[in-house]
Copies of this chain bind each other. A is one copy, B any other.
Amino acid sequence: MPFTHNRTVHFQDTDAAGVVYFANVLGICHEAYEESLETSGINIKGFFTGSSVAFPIVHANVDFLRPMFCGDKLAVSLMPQKLGIDKFEIAYEISVDDVVVAKAITRHVCIEVSSRSKQELPNEIIRWLETNRRDAEGAERRKSREVI
């Protein structure tokens, strides 16, 4: 099973069209990323603030399949993947009642903060990538078997 973050849509997430404001969907995906890191034992405060290494997002994309409303119970699953020695990407799928309502991707590079030069992914991130990738693949295999 891929890591899944459960998140209710807050009033603040919505806009005057009555649904979640599009850019906020990426913020919700990032919350799932943070929770996944924390679940794997990474200290979030140190990870995102004050560390000499950072993982800025260089690309993001998102597809909106259905509107999300205040009070909706979102299940945000994430499947990270190593792309090279200094980068990885995360695929997110957001569902409401088992119906996919949005899909997104964020691509991250590892940099040394002061120089902003690229740097190899540290071990704790490699472990996180491996754990969550394996989990996601397990889910994919199960899905394939169900289809058969």
Given contacts A10-B30, A15-B12, contact A71 B45 (CB under 8 A): yes
Pairwise interchain contact B57-A71, C-beta atoms closer than 8 A: no
Q: Contacts of A119 on B, CB cut-off 8 Å?
A: none
A contacts with B, residue count (CB < 8 A): 45
Instruction: Tell me whether chain A's interface is mostly helix, strand or loop, or mixed.
Output: mixed
Integer count of this chain's copies in the complex = 4
Q: Contacts of A69 on B, CB cut-off 8 Å?
A: 16, 45, 49
Decide if A22 is an interface residue (CB 8 Å cutoff). Answer: yes
Give the shortest distance, in Å, between A72 (CB) and chain B (any CB): 7
Given contacts A12-B27, A24-B23, contact A57 B48 (CB under 8 A): no
Q: Out of B21, B57, B63, B67, name the residue touching A64 (CB < 8 Å).
A: B57
